[in-house]
């Protein structure tokens, strides 16, 4: 029954254009046979808020289905970052992740990390954060807290309970960052250390909101410092962008960097509203995965597409260098035997 259900969804997506024909063009980068050239958007169709896991020679990209989420998550799988296969997961679904306090918002903004032999997912459903666990990136996934969210809806509406992102430090300790605002203003970011079970908090949540924060936190560590990256502006227009702030500990305090924002609308490249990103490293290079508006650009819409670009650190200044959202990106050639 589950296989039939997923096939029906996949067929429907094709019929409505969500899973549009791939428009990637791949070629060798000059005479360098060790790389290929990817063309953005790197994944076909309309998806947002990407999270990436590498496991056993494959890339797994988890993403929100646009517009404004669906009843389940999309997971795209590739072994070379060129040819992608779409999967829909058994968890989370809107039906499974609904509590007495949740609202009508659908399945948004996954974060998936591996710790030990298991994979852990933190996902926004109904303006609450839910958590799942699996022994394989494709599942089957299990709701770790049964019918309860890890973080419930904030009835005071001081902040919006979405966009949870897990970070595992060098010492193996795990942290969760989350939070946004309402009506595109007053974003708030919270952080807490996760318990050993990855479904409870070892410390009380504290607010760590840096300047110009709205949503989509993603933590990276470099040179002993903590880089809290995030988005601000409106995801439905060209103001959406990626900023970052730097701190000495996972809880900050965080000071916005002098060259923030580092990724933003670039009309000459026809790139509008890039943001809600994740970072990953592959074969000695650093990459940012993010969504941007589909073309032709139309304000007020949420038909976003997933793109990739390389990024670098300025080791002298201790900063992340500004990122050019180029429409092509060199990527290591992966040879499968």
Residues designated catalytic: 49, 215
Q: Which residue has the tokens 């958590």?
A: 131
Listed in sequence order, the residues at least 6 apart from 45 whose beta carbon sits closer than 8 Å to its beta carbon are 13, 17, 18, 19, 20, 86, 305
Sheet of strand 215-222: strand arrangement: 215-222, 225-232, 241-247, 255-256
Q: Is the peptide bond before 14 cis (omega within 30 degrees of 0)?
A: no
Ramachandran angles phi, psi of 15, nearest 5°:
-65, -30
**Beta strand 241-247 pairing with 58-65:** unpaired
CA torsion, points 306, 52, 214, 104, in degrees to nearest 10?
Answer: 80
Nearest to 130 by CA among 114, 154, 146: 146
User: Would you say 136 and 84 are in contact if contact means Cβ atoms under 8 Å apart?
Assistant: no
Q: How far is the CA of 324 from the CAs of 81, 170, 215, 307, 320, in angstroms?
A: 20, 29, 21, 12, 12
Question: Percentage helix, strand, coil, to 5, in the chain?
Answer: 5, 45, 50
Radius of gyration of the chain (CA): 19
Token pair recorded at residue 132? 């799942």
Token pair recorded at residue 124? 């926004």
User: Would you say 203 and 293 are in contact if contact means Cβ atoms under 8 Å apart?
Assistant: no
Q: How far out from the chain centre does Cα 257 lie?
A: 21
Q: Is the peptide bond before 140 cis (omega within 30 degrees of 0)?
A: yes
């Amino acid at each position: 029954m589950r296989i039939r259900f997923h096939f029906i969804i996949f067929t429907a997506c094709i019929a409505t254009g969500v899973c549009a024909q791939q428009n990637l063009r791949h070629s060798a980068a000059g005479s360098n046979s060790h790389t290929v050239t990817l063309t953005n958007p790197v994944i076909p169709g309309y998806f947002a808020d990407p999270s990436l896991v590498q496991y056993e020679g494959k890339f797994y990209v988890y993403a929100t289905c646009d517009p404004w989420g669906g009843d389940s998550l999309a997971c795209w799988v590739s072994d070379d970052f060129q040819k992608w296969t779409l999967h829909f997961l058994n968890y989370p679904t809107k039906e499974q992740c609904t509590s007495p306090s949740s609202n009508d918002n659908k399945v948004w903004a996954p974060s998936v990390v591996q710790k030990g032999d298991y994979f852990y997912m933190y996902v926004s459903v109904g303006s609450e954060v839910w958590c799942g666990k699996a022994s394989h990136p494709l599942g089957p996934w299990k709701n770790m807290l049964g019918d309860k969210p890890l973080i419930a809806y904030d009835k005071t509406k001081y902040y919006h309970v979405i966009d949870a992102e897990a970070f595992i430090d060098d010492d193996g300790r795990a942290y969760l960052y989350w939070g946004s605002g309402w009506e595109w203003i007053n974003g708030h970011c919270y952080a807490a250390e996760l318990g050993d079970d990855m479904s409870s908090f070892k410390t009380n949540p504290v607010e760590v909101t840096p300047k110009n924060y709205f949503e989509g936190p993603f933590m990276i560590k470099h040179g002993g410092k903590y880089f809290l990256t995030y988005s601000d502006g409106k995801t439905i227009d060209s103001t959406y962008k990626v900023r970052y702030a730097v701190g000495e500990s996972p809880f900050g305090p965080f000071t916005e960097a002098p060259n923030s924002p580092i990724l933003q609308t670039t009309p000459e490249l026809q790139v509008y509203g890039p943001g809600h990103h994740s970072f990953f490293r592959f074969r000695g290079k650093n990459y940012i995965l993010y969504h941007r508006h589909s073309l032709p650009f139309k304000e007020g819409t949420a038909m976003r597409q997933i793109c990739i670009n390389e990024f670098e650190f300025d080791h002298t200044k201790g900063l992340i260098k500004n990122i050019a959202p180029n429409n092509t990106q060199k990527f290591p050639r992966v040879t499968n035997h």
